[in-house]
Chain A
Amino acid sequence: MTSSPPATSQGRAGRSRRDSRFGDKVFFNFSRGAGILLLVIMAAIAGFLAYRSALALGKNEGNFLTTFEWTPDGVKPVFGIAVLAFGTLVSALIAMLIAVPVAVGIALFISHYAPRRIAQPFAYLVDLLAAVPSIVYGLWGVLFLVPHMDGLTSWLNEYLGWTYIFDQTKNGAPARNLFTVGILLAIMVLPIITAVTREVFRQVPRMHEEAALALGATRWEMIRTAVLPFGRPGIISASMLGLGRALGETIAVAIVLSSNSQLSLHLLDPGGGTFAQNIALKFNESQPFGRDALMASGLVLFVITLLVNGAARMIIARRKEYSGANA
């Protein structure tokens, strides 16, 4: 067994008590300052958004939450986030539904299945995906993904058309729709979710894996009993990181959904919008009032992101005593 640390600590305390106190002080103030800085930045952004939003919301002739149109610079300013909120949440949801299982699968493959000499380069490859700029994803999406979506969309339309959201009302139109955006976002968030879950899976203590194996678990059963439950908070945190990116992704979405004229709840019909995409497309052509209206939509995105993260924290905290952190 290892020797106990108390024996050595006594000698060290006498040597340089002053130095270490000074170091403590510097480090304490630095880390406290960093923490405060974060709060200040958050407050500044929230305050800025809230102030500009208030200017716009006071003059809105429509209902901000339920209106479909976005015409703040019209004679009668009318703008609402219904379409944007729907588009943002749905495209992010599609992205999560696709990306999380695939990412967990890739992470398990790297951490538990692949031989080491394959796992290492494979992990680098995934990290490399995360470094591709989002405009490249956007261009790839519109130049490659959109023209190749026909098979999948017609299949969805045929078998899931009754769900309304998969009902295709404009046949033959290019697939510049929310569904394609969801798939594109899934690819974009895949690397970050994979990278984080991979590290969590690698940290599962060997003794828990051996405990499962010694009970007669197969490889998959060992992963199910020891690895996945231990990694659960990590999977949730990783998904939240990915979700944050999916909710806020701007340029790739704006390239695929560039017209933004017809806004529809049919996911396979062209059109649809998200908060960030709408801001990117409208900002330059907007009057100062229109820009304030865009700020209001930005504030909603800010709040949605906070709520989603809060919910995730609560899920993790509720099972804290089972987290394995004290093992």
Chain B
Amino acid sequence: MAKRIDVSGLSAFYGTTKAIEDISMTVEPRSVTAFIGPSGCGKSTFLRTLNRMHEVIPGARVEGKVMLDDENLYGSNVDPVAVRRSVGMVFQRPNPFPTMSIYDNVVAGLKLAGVKKKSVLDGVVEKSLKGANLWNEVKDRLNKPGAGLSGGQQQRLCIARAIAVEPQVLLMDEPCSALDPISTLAIEDLIGELKTQYTIVIVTHNMQQAARVSDRTAFFNLAGVGQPGKLIELDDTQRIFSNPSVQATEDYISGRFG
């Protein structure tokens, strides 16, 4: 189920502005890779190139290669819709569909894929909500609106929705930045459990969080305002936070800038 991501020479643009430049990295399957770096360094943009969500913004485009095992996501005959089915995403702010019940939110992806059988859907709902550590809290009100849950529960619902379609990779764009510490802890525990099955990439502003949840950490930085963001270094999380090989990384994690 989990696949390796291999990025080479990737640049992303908004119109004529280059947001990230020449990024190459490998993300191992069944691991958590954290992206850290100052605001505007392009870590979210880079994340969104990994499931071709970058290009839904008008004028945005990508150059370079993203290999998911041996398939190039930017190959000429690859359908971005199919890419997004195999690379799931969780957003910064919880975004369950407000017009849908908890149940319908979880199966939204499956319904798009054409699964209609009630027994299959029921099974997936229970499995996904259990996988997202939400089942016990919502099992008696699956038909209530998803927007009625607390922020942390909504975010776990979004994770359940993302894993319901059994993606190969799970991308998380600052999934805890809109949540309180308790909910954050719940999500972090969940990430630890999910990594046994999925390749997980998480963008975070919180360096303690990166240190807690990730196996590998990538540090992004930009030379100045208006300059494209670049990957500075990618290494084992422990090494990044104890003995990084680049000075800028050390300056950033020790709080000297950013």
Contact = CB atoms under 8 A, between A and B. Distances in A.
B254 to A, nearest CB: 23
Nearest to B53: A214
B97 A208 contact: yes
Interface residues of A, number: 28
A324 B165 contact: no
Nearest to B174: A1
Nearest to A231: B99
A230 B97 CA distance: 9
B56 A324 contact: no
Contact of B108 (A210, A212, A218, A325): A212
Contact of A322 (B56, B85, B100, B112): B100
Interface in B137-183: 144-145, 147-148, 158, 161-162, 165, 177-178
Interface in B100-127: 100-101, 108-109, 112-113
A1 B177 contact: yes
Contacts of A322: 98-101, 145, 147
A245 interface: no
Interface string A65-95: 0000000000000000000000000000000
A285 interface: no
A24 interface: no
Contacts of B91: 207, 210-211, 214
Contacts of B85: 215-216
A207 B98 contact: no
Contact of A230 (B58, B82, B99): B99
A213 B56 contact: yes
A319 B143 CA distance: 13
B81 interface: yes
B238 interface: no
Interface in A154-211: 205, 207-208, 210-211
Contact of A323 (B89, B96, B99, B161): B99
Contacts of B196: none
Contacts of B144: 321
B88 interface: yes
Contact of B58 (A116, A216, A232): A116
A229 B97 contact: yes
A215 B161 contact: yes
Contacts of A207: 91, 93, 95
Q: Which of B93, B95, B165 has the most CB of A within 10 A?
A: B95
Contacts of A208: 95, 97-98
A217 B95 contact: no
B175 to A, nearest CB: 13
A215 B96 CA distance: 12
A210 B98 contact: no
A324 B147 contact: yes
A41 interface: no
B81 A218 contact: yes
A326 interface: yes
Given A210-B53, A322-B145, A324-B147, A216 B97 contact: no
Interface of B: 51, 53, 56, 58, 81-82, 84-85, 88-89, 91, 93, 95-101, 108-109, 112-113, 144-145, 147-148, 158, 161-162, 165, 177-178
Given A208-B95, A225-B108, 16 more contacts: A1-B178, A208-B97, A210-B91, A214-B88, A214-B91, A214-B162, A215-B162, A216-B109, A216-B113, A225-B112, A226-B97, A232-B99, A321-B145, A323-B98, A326-B147, A327-B95
5 contacts: A210-B56, A212-B112, A215-B161, A326-B148, A327-B98
